[in-house]
């Protein structure tokens, strides 16, 4: 109850702290209704509420609130008014079930905040035959929450909150204390004993479990252990599998067409829920059984169509985004076989978000563990292997992440169907993408793919040019010799970095054979009036290429420069002669 004159004794800072704490609590309750437990918005709301209640305790504890239909009062002041929300507001939720006073003790934000929010959320959505809020609070036995309530059922109607016979629940006791004497008494057994002798009995009206230990019908230890085992087994049993079995039985023949349609609608809802909680095994079972049932000829046509639409429903971009978010936030990595079995049930429309996830650069998405990324990439690769044409079409997508992911997938699949799309990407504006495209074309290594790689010899980016030369050398693509030979004679080569010169000459030496010796001999041994025509690095690269040719004619060209005064060239000639067969 509010003390006379209490409203004048309360500081404005205390009132503001209480108001802020209750507003934060109401927002946290709404967040509990709207978001999943792992949602960051809910986590931020809970943290803000904890900080707000921590600030309250510095102004006096405990915090006793009087419950009105549309408001909460503290020390004679209205600290939370919720008229607009009406029956959806926090005050009415408490008032409706008979709670007339609520006391929160220090430590509530750390011990019982989350539990009380869950209880209030359950009370808001409870069915008419479920336990009311008072019963749920009593069962929960929150250590820092004390409340007074009226029993409308026993009085035959609503009772004024100012009545003196309100039932009281205090933390630390199992049952209720009735009457004003219990309401004003101590809040635990130790406080009751403090006012009397050391062995004084608990206050009257309080019941404790110890009072029942010696009764005739109290459970024996073995019976209690058996009940605990049964409870653990019941809670450990996954009833969702049984629900799925019942739904499949209804669809399979024991249900009417209307019941079958309703069962398929329930399956559609369950699929999304299983996906949101990361239960991929149940998702896979549902899709697999739906596929089997859809092949039955005894079902109605619309039921078959609805069953066949379940994988398409799961393959929608929104569902795939939810799946990838769950994978990013998962604490454990699902098995590769489980994800592969799930992805094999999907439709090609699921490839776009999956490929974009693979191609997204680091930092733009929440980075999963390396194990999770590896498992997902393997599963997506299996799905893409059955829909290569769909993956090839993604090479022309407007979003760069999708294109990059598609390039990586076709490189892993090495499918020639992707060569036309990769050929168009050889001239893409992003050098990093062009580099991946050249690598993918080299992995495919078909004649048309290597022809596309030839174009990259003249690319504007040095790394792309070097990658193209190495691909052509590794694939022994001799048709590129004319273009490579022309590159040897370009003036731009003289100003290129040494790594590019070496790659160009090594590729030419690997592919040219005897026919390329005269050109290399001229670059190595040609002299003018003032000495060699070519600089030392070009002559050294030509010596390396002649060593790769390794024919007698090439060795003879090397011998002619074995005694040159240029140390760089002489060293390159010596190494080439040693490496020649």
pLDDT beyond 70 at 572: yes
Whether residue 232 has pLDDT greater than 50: yes
Model confidence at 528, pLDDT cuts 50, 70, 90, reads low
> Mean of the pLDDT values across residues 24-33?
87
| Pairing, β 531-532 against β 527-528 | antiparallel
- Distance, in Å, from the CA atom of 466 to the CA atom of 499, rounded to the nearest integer, reads 8
Q: Supply φ then ψ for residue 561, to 5 degrees.
A: -110, 10
Tokens for 428? 């893409």
Overall pTM surpassing 0.85 (yes/no): no
CA 136 to chain centre: 34
Residue 553 lies in a domain: yes
Domain identity same for 27 and 161: yes
In this predicted structure, what is the pLDDT of residue 174?
Answer: 38
The whole-number pLDDT of residue 198 equals 39
Residue 140, domain member (yes or no): yes
**Residue that finishes a domain, picked among 171, 192, 209:** 171
Beta carbons within 8 Å of 27's beta carbon, 6+ residues apart: 45, 48, 49
Query: How many angstroms separate the CA atoms of 284 and 287, rounded?
Result: 5
Q: State residue 170's pLDDT score.
A: 58
pLDDT tens digits for 167-207? Answer: 565 554 433 333 344 444 444 444 444 444 334 444 555 55
Say if residue 216's pLDDT is above 80: no
Average pLDDT value for residue range 94-101: 87
Tokens matching residue 22: 């209750």
User: Which residues, at least 6 apart from 412, have a Cβ–Cβ distance to it below 8 Å?
Assistant: 381
Residue 330 placed within a domain: yes
Q: How many CB atoms lie within 10 A of CB 313?
A: 16
Least Cα distance to 298 among 353, 253, 254 occurs for 253
How would DSSP label each residue in 292-333?
A: HHHT-TTS-HHHHHHHHHHHHHHTSHHHHHHHHHHHHH-SSP
CA distances from 122 to 16, 24, 118, 138, 269 (A): 29, 19, 6, 14, 21
The residue out of 141, 171, 201 marking a domain boundary is: 171
Residues 62 and 78 in one domain: yes
- DSSP element (H, E) containing 71: strand 71-74
307 lies in the same domain as 322: no
Q: Residue range 210-225: average pLDDT?
A: 66
Q: Are residues 21 and 153 in the same domain?
A: yes
pLDDT-wise least confident of 369-378, 408-417, 560-569: 369-378
- The answer as to whether 113 is a domain residue is yes
* Whole-number pLDDT of residue 193: 41
Q: Is the pLDDT of residue 226 over 70?
A: yes
- The string of pLDDT tens digits covering residues 435-467 is 999 999 998 988 899 998 988 888 889 899 999
pLDDT over threshold 80, residue 53: yes
Confidence (pLDDT) at 171: 57
Strands in 145-149's sheet, in edge-to-edge order, are 77-81, 71-74, 63-67, 99-104, 145-149, 167-169, 177-178
Count CA atoms closer than 13 A to 543's CA, side-chain side.
Answer: 28
| Alpha-carbon 75 to chain mean position | 46
Q: Is the pLDDT higher at 116 or at 210?
A: 116
Q: How far is CA 563 from CA 76, 266, 545, 558, 576, in A?
A: 107, 87, 18, 10, 14
Q: Is the pLDDT of residue 123 over 80?
A: yes
Same domain, 145 and 31: yes
pLDDT at residue 520 greater than cutoff 50: yes
Question: What total number of domains does the chain contain?
Answer: 4
* The pair of three-digit structure tokens given for residue 464, joined into one six-digit string: 């792309």
To the nearest whole number, what is the mean pLDDT of the chain?
78
Span 114-125, mean pLDDT?
A: 86
Query: How many CB atoms neighbour CB 564 within 10 A?
Result: 19
Name the domain boundary from 119, 150, 171. 171
- Average pLDDT of span 327-344: 68
pLDDT in the model for residue 207: 55
% of the chain beyond a pLDDT of 70: 80
Report the CATH number that the domain containing residue 565 is assigned in CATH. 1.25.10
- Asked, for residue 493, whether it belongs to a domain, the answer is yes
| Same domain flag for 131 and 41 | yes
> Does one domain contain both 30 and 154?
yes
* pLDDT above 80 (res 237): no
Q: 478-503, pLDDT tens digit by residue?
A: 888 888 888 888 888 878 888 888 99
Question: What's the pLDDT tens digit per position in 401-428?
Answer: 888 888 888 888 888 888 888 888 888 8
Q: Is the predicted pLDDT of residue 322 greater than 60, yes or no?
A: yes
394 touches 406 (CB < 8 A): yes
What pLDDT sits at residue 467? 92
Distances (CA, A) of 326 to 71, 212, 323, 375, 537: 39, 48, 5, 14, 56
Residue 416 lies in a domain: no
Rounded to 5 degrees, φ, ψ at 73 are -120, 145
Do 245 and 363 fall within a single domain? no
Distance, in Å, from the CA atom of 382 to the CA atom of 345, rounded to the nearest integer, reads: 11
Tell me the β-bridge partners of 66.
73, 101
Give the mean model confidence (pLDDT) for residues 428-433: 89
pLDDT at 365 over 60: no
Interval 37-44 mean pLDDT = 84
Give me the percent of the chain exceeding a pLDDT of 90: 4
| Mean pLDDT, range 137-163, rounded to an integer | 67
User: What stretch of H or E contains 556?
Assistant: helix 552-559
Please give the pLDDT value at position 215: 52
Contact criterion met (CB below 8 Å) for 219 and 227: yes
Domain shared by 101 and 163, yes or no: yes
Q: Which pLDDT score is estimated for 463?
A: 92
Statement to judge: residues 124 and 50 lie in one domain: yes
- Are residues 98 and 71 part of one domain? yes
Residue in the block written with tokens 């669809």: 251
More confident call, 221 vs 505: 505
- Provide the pLDDT for residue 190: 41
Domain interval for residue 496: 488-581
Are 307 and 334 members of one domain?
no
Give a yes or no: residue 281 inside a domain: yes
pLDDT of residue 470: 92
Asked whether residue 204 is assigned to any structural domain, the reply reads: no
The per-residue pLDDT for 471 is 92
Q: Are 39 and 100 in contact (CB under 8 A)?
A: no
149 forms beta bridges with: 99, 167
Tell me the per-residue pLDDT of 245-289, one tens digit each, with 9 for 90 and over: 888 888 877 768 888 888 888 888 887 777 777 777 787 888 888
**β-strands 99-104, 63-67 pairing:** antiparallel
How much is the pLDDT for 192?
42
Q: Which pLDDT score is estimated for 42?
A: 86
The answer to whether residues 168 and 205 touch, using CB atoms and an 8 Å cutoff, is no
């Amino acid at each position: 109850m509010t003390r006379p004159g209490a409203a004048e004794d309360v500081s404005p800072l205390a009132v503001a702290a209480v108001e802020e704490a209750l507003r934060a609590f109401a927002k946290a309750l709404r967040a509990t209704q709207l978001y999943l437990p792992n949602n960051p918005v809910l986590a931020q709301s809970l943290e803000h509420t904890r900080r707000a209640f921590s600030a309250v305790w510095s102004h006096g504890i405990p915090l006793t609130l009087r419950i009105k239909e549309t408001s909460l009062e503290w020390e004679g002041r209205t600290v939370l008014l919720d008229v607009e929300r009406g029956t959806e507001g926090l005050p009415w939720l408490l008032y409706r079930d008979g709670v007339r006073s609520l006391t929160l003790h220090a430590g509530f934000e750390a011990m019982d905040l989350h539990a009380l929010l869950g209880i209030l959320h359950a009370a808001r959505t409870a069915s008419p035959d479920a336990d009311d809020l008072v019963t749920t609070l009593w069962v929960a036995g929150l250590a820092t929450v004390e409340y007074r309530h009226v029993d409308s059922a026993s009085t035959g109607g609503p009772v004024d909150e100012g009545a003196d016979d309100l039932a009281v629940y205090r933390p630390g006791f199992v049952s209720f204390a009735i009457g004003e004497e219990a309401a004003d008494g101590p809040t635990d057994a130790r406080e009751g004993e403090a006012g009397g002798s050391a062995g004084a009995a608990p206050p009257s009206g309080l019941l404790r479990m110890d009072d029942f230990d010696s009764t005739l019908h109290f459970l024996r230890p073995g019976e209690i252990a058996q009940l605990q085992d049964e409870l653990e087994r019941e809670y450990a049993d996954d009833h969702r599998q049984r629900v799925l079995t019942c739904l499949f039985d209804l669809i399979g023949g024991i249900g009417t067409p209307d019941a079958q349609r309703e069962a398929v609608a329930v399956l559609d809802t369950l699929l999304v829920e299983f996906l949101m909680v990361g239960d991929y095994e149940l998702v896979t079972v549902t899709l697999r059984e739906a596929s089997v049932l859809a092949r039955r000829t005894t079902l109605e046509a619309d039921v078959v169509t609805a069953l066949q639409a379940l994988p398409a429903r799961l393959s929608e971009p929104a569902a795939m985004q939810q799946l990838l978010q769950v994978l990013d936030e998962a604490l454990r990595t699902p098995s590769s076989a489980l994800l592969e079995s799930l992805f094999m049930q999907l439709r090609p429309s699921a490839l776009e978000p999956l490929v974009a996830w693979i191609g997204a650069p680091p930092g733009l998405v929440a980075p999963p563990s390396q194990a999770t990324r590896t498992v997902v990439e393997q599963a997506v690769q299996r799905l893409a292997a059955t829909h290569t044409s769909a993956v090839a079409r993604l090479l022309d997508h407007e979003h760069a992440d999708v294109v990059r992911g598609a390039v990586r997938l076709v490189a892993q699949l090495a499918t020639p169907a992707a060569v036309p799309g990769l050929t168009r990407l050889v001239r893409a504006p992003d050098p990093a993408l062009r580099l991946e495209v050249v690598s993918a074309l080299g992995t495919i290594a078909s004649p048309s793919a290597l022809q596309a790689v030839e174009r990259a010899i003249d690319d504007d980016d040095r790394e792309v040019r070097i990658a193209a030369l190495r691909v052509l050398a590794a694939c022994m693509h001799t048709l590129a010799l004319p273009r490579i030979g022309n590159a040897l004679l370009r003036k731009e080569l003289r100003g290129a970095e040494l790594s590019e010169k070496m790659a160009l000459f090594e590729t030419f030496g690997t592919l040219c054979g005897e026919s390329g010796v005269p050109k290399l001999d001229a670059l190595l041994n040609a002299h003018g009036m003032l000495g060699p025509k070519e600089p030392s690095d070009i002559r050294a690269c030509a010596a390396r290429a002649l060593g790769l040719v390794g024919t007698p004619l090439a060795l003879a060209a090397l011998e002619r420069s074995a005694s040159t005064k240029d140390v760089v060239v002489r060293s390159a000639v010596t190494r080439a002669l040693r490496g020649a067969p």
